A and B are shown apart, each in its own frame.
Chain A
């Protein structure tokens, strides 16, 4: 996936946003619309046309300005994010000349040159950063926790239930489906980036909002306990109460994980979404051996603590994942299951290793608290249990000694009409 798509996807998921995508060309736009229509939304995607002539004449900006005004006046969405991809960002369109607001509509520039964005996670970070920068100043009276991170729809509800036991609540969750989810951040008392990659957003939030931060996420035994406890100080909650609830949730998570032990299994995890850190926590706590975590996310301050925790438990973090290394590792040692990118999983399946595509299987699931742990681990158990099926297929496709060349369509049986005709005396 193009790194920029991480951002385009989040913006298309906003019901009251009408994103404009300034592509680098039709190949670029086609790719983005194709996957957007598959993964995200049954909705149109708007773009100014681009070509070498349009770039040379500089007419793209006028067209963009016209589009922005027309869309704001006709549809009045809460926000029109303008996603500027490689070429437009290299050419440098004068986005500052666009109005900041038209009526009630916010016009926000989101810079996404993929050659410097590098990862999905970073693109999501840029979106949150761009939108947060547009927020009004923080309110004086604040309460609750701003959850920052893409999480499962039921997660905020579960987390809120726990938070209410310790005297606070979930204030809002970003990225959210509406602009108002972002605006609500001004009411929150603490920011909680639950994925270790919102580093730029966090930096800007610190500059702008002046809110305390709580890092980590309520994932797994240790993670859940520490995350809940860490809220006590910034929110001035009753420490004894917080300790009691944190311990309760820790025990619930431990009980859930006990139901799905993965002892003796060696797993490979490769992700580019950012929450692969959290997944590996769960796998390790369930007793699995995860020799390394391969992630597209770059080393950043938010990941430091996660990395140390994983390292203590024998898992090394490889930042800026290298596909060739992942493939080499596959043949190096016997993995029982691979959770990774499409190409990696394709290789693993060829070798008969049960595997699942990270985005389709993991990113669509809750990992938080006891229920999330049970859900994720059950999926891994189920996948590993299918080993014999993967083996059977791998054997079937590799057992032939004659190495025929692969073709894409079967050859039709040759009906030799000439012979047929001769047999019937026609020629």
Chain B
């Protein structure tokens, strides 16, 4: 029963966000504070490192989730395309490494190497960034955009609408970034994200 109440609360919150989004189109979305996380190459990464960035594609993903595994190539392609347009892509792993052995930093390194990631793959060891974004599943995708010197969430949800068949998929992420690059508000600012649940330690 408790869970249902929670679900309804979440659904209500999402609904309110929609209403909010449509009423105040120009500055919609939660502001995200900058972070400093360790990349698989050993260096740390912050949003402020990217001086020319107009916005970011932020993907919460992980090593073991079968649905997330489908997206490595697509994320590489998105990164290649949009970092050239000053919208870099950053992937973050917020999974609890104490519970999931597969999500260790060592395994993240192997994953980044094996899948030839052309973007930073960051470990959110304290889970603070995941909580700040309210990322609930892997994979889940966000587009944040610079507005009044703040990073505002402009899109949240899934990467596209077909995990197994990329050729049939409609890319929500591409559409959102393209809208923003054209100076428009995002046509479809929110979709459902699903895959493996991210459990947050209390």
Partners in one complex: no
